[in-house]
Chain A
Amino acid sequence: NAGVTQTPKFRVLKTGQSMTLLCAQDMNHEYMYWYRQDPGMGLRLIHYSVGEGTTAKGEVPDGYNVSRLKKQNFLLGLESAAPSQTSVYFCASSFPPGTAVYEQYFGPGTRLTVT
C-alpha cells in the first residue's frame, strides 16, 4: 500500500516550457487535490476533483490545468511555466467530507523551479 505518490520529485523548467505532474493513490479515494506551497507559507488549493472525470477550481487555479481520467490518478499541467510558479506542489486524496473522519492523505511533494 503505497498511499499517495507523486512523479517527479524534482524538476527545473525554463520559462515558457510545459510539464505534467502525476499523482497516484491506491486507497480508492474519491477526492483528490493539488496544492502549492511557497517558502514559509501555508498550502493553497489549486484544483480538486470529487470523482473520476470531474475537476473544479480551488483558490489559485490560474496557469494550471488538471485531468482525472482514472479514479486513482490526478494530473496537474503547466502549459507555459512562469517563475511565479516556482513552488513545492503537493497532491492529496481523501474520502468525501462528511465521512466519519475527513483526513487528507498527502504525497511527498514535487519541487519545481522555473528559471
Chain B
Amino acid sequence: LAKTTQPISMDSYEGQEVNITCSHNNIATNDYITWYQQFPSQGPRFIIQGYKTKVTNEVASLFIPADRKSSTLSLPRVSLSDTAVYYCLVVNNTNAGKSTFGDGTTLTVKP
C-alpha cells in the first residue's frame, strides 16, 4: 500500500491560492492519485485525479512531478466555503482494496 503523508492543517485567507502537498514515496507504477474534499458531517467528495504532470479542472489543479513521489493540489482564489478537510488518496489501478486515505489536511480559510 502506498502510504500518504499530508500536513495536518493549513490556514489561508480569502482570495489566496492554496497548495496542499501529499507525499507518497512508495507509489507503484499502476497507482494514480486522487484528491477528495470533506465537509463536517458529510461524506468525502471527489475533486481531481491524475497520473503524472499537470491536470486541471474547473475547481482545482493537480501537479505531479516526474518521480511521482508527491503531488500538490492547488486551489485558486479560495473562499470561506473551501474550509474543509482535503484527502490525498493513492488508488491502485487493478485492486481497489489497495487504496488508502491518509489523515487529511484541515484547511481553514479566514476572511
Residues of A near any B CB (own CB < 8 A): 4, 31, 33, 35, 41-45, 48, 50, 56-59, 90, 92, 94, 96-98, 101-109
Contact = CB atoms under 8 A, between A and B. Distances in A.
Given A92-B43, A106-B45, A108-B42, A43 B96 contact: no
Given A97-B99, A102-B91, 15 more contacts: A31-B96, A33-B96, A35-B101, A42-B101, A45-B97, A48-B97, A90-B43, A90-B44, A97-B91, A97-B92, A97-B96, A102-B49, A103-B46, A106-B44, A106-B45
Contacts of B44: 43, 90, 104, 106
A104 B97 contact: no
A59 B94 CA distance: 17
A35 B49 CA distance: 20
